[in-house]
Amino acid sequence: MKIECIKDKLSAALVQAGRFSGKHPTLPVLSSVLFEIKQNTLIIRATNLDAGIEISLPVKVIKEGSVAVSAQTIINTVSTIQGKQVVLEETGGSLAVSSQTYKTAVRCVPKEDFPTIPIISSSEKIDVAAKNLADGIGSVVYSASTSEIKPELSSVYIYPEHNTLVFVSTDSFRLAEKRITTKGIKDFPGIILPYKNAVEIARVFSESSDTVRALFSKHHASFSSDSLYITSRLVDGLFPDYKQIIPKEEKTRAVVLKQDLVQALKVTTVFANKFNQLSIKVKPEEGVLSIESKNADVGEGTVSLDAALSGEGVELNVNARYFSDCLAHIHQDSVALVFNGPGKPIIVGGAGDASFTYLVMPMNR
């Protein structure tokens, strides 16, 4: 195998592939990437058995072939080599990586042990803009549980509803739902995408302007564009019937500038206690929305915000991080906070935006 390619493009592709490589005590080959030449294309493969990726890169082919090398070693090697063009050549059990002024050799690993990446063949498929897919996942994935005790909670649930693609995550303490309008979307059974795989899929497609074709089988899903093919295992289970916990009415509403709310949280979080607790007080009759925190060892802080208020007075305690996590995914200038009384979840969203809904459960005193 011998090819010549643009160094920056190769480096970027290797970084993407490297995130899908893994460590396994009985399959050390999983920590490698596989290079395979087909016609004038270099295909880079990596997998951790839970998810896999294939990246196609146009190159100048001098000699066809295939080789597997340590993912981290080849990533570090290519990223540090100087020069616009690099040459990769298999020779004597090593992969030589060279430019005009640099020459290195990376030891190969047995390519015969490299696992195959599943090819999904299914009539259940959708086409969605890559940025919409990344936005949908990114808007909710931080609400997934990081514990794998309940896999359906450590996941992103994706399902169609009319002309929208709905993305949902919850760890039972908070919940995020994002709706992306997609024309011509076909009906398909909802899929439950593991948290770690969802994060990487969103990362890979976030900078792409392509259309992604998603195919679903019983146990796997694939996401492909012109130069990318990603597969992921699906969670076998049922996602919670989350719509039951979304309040259908509202007793109190507060609309506040997002910038003011973000700044208030920065100030008050400094004084949050070991449970990261903040107190939110809404007093419509006095025109007051305040956020308070108190820590016996540090001090206390209170910020009063200008807000449009309506409904009943209410006071709730919330986890500061859980409450603020969603704000980065609200793109409107104003944020709407909806309350339904003590012990009921707070609904947070962009004012006038029905595409994003975030629920956070209150804390006990």
Question: Which of 217, 243, 269 is the last residue in one of the domains?
Answer: 243
Pairing relationship of beta strands 356-360 and 346-350 according to DSSP bridges: antiparallel
Kindly indicate the confidence band of residue 122, based on its pLDDT and cuts at 50, 70 and 90: confident
Q: Judge if 102 and 136 occupy the same domain.
A: no
| Helices first, then strands: H and E counts in the chain | 6, 26
Q: Is the pTM of this model over 0.85?
A: yes
Mean pLDDT computed over every residue of the chain: 94
Domain shared by 272 and 225, yes or no: no
On whether both 347 and 309 belong to a single domain, the answer is yes
Q: Are residues 232 and 339 in the same domain?
A: no
Q: Does residue 120 belong to any structural domain of this protein? A: no
Is 309 within a domain? Answer: yes
Asked if residue 130 and residue 235 are part of one domain, the reply reads yes
Confidence bin at 364 (pLDDT 50/70/90): confident
Q: Do residues 307 and 256 touch, judged by C-beta distance below 8 A?
A: yes
Q: Is 302 helix (H, G, I), strand (E, B) or coil?
A: strand
Among residues 243, 258, 277, the one where a domain terminates is 243
Residue 70, domain member (yes or no): yes
Instruction: Classify residue 365: in a domain, yes or no.
Output: no
Taking a C-beta distance cutoff of 8 angstroms, is the pair 132, 178 a contact?
Answer: no
The answer to whether residues 148 and 83 belong to one domain is: no
What total of structural domains would you count in the chain?
3
Domain that includes residue 290, residue range: 248-360
Read off the amino acid at residue 187: D
State whether 85 and 172 are in the same domain: no
Contact in structure between 234 and 188 (CB atoms under 8 Å): no
Domain boundary residue, one of 199, 216, 243: 243
CB neighbour burial string for 139-171, b if at least 16 within 10 angstroms, e if fewer: bbbbbbbeeeeeebbbbbbbbbeeebbbbbbbb
Q: What is the CATH classification number for the domain harbouring 44?
A: 3.10.150.10
pLDDT in tens, 157-179: 999 998 899 999 999 999 999 99
Mark whether 55 and 161 lie in a shared domain. Answer: no
Strand partners, 69: 33, 108
Q: What percent of the chain has pLDDT over 90?
A: 85
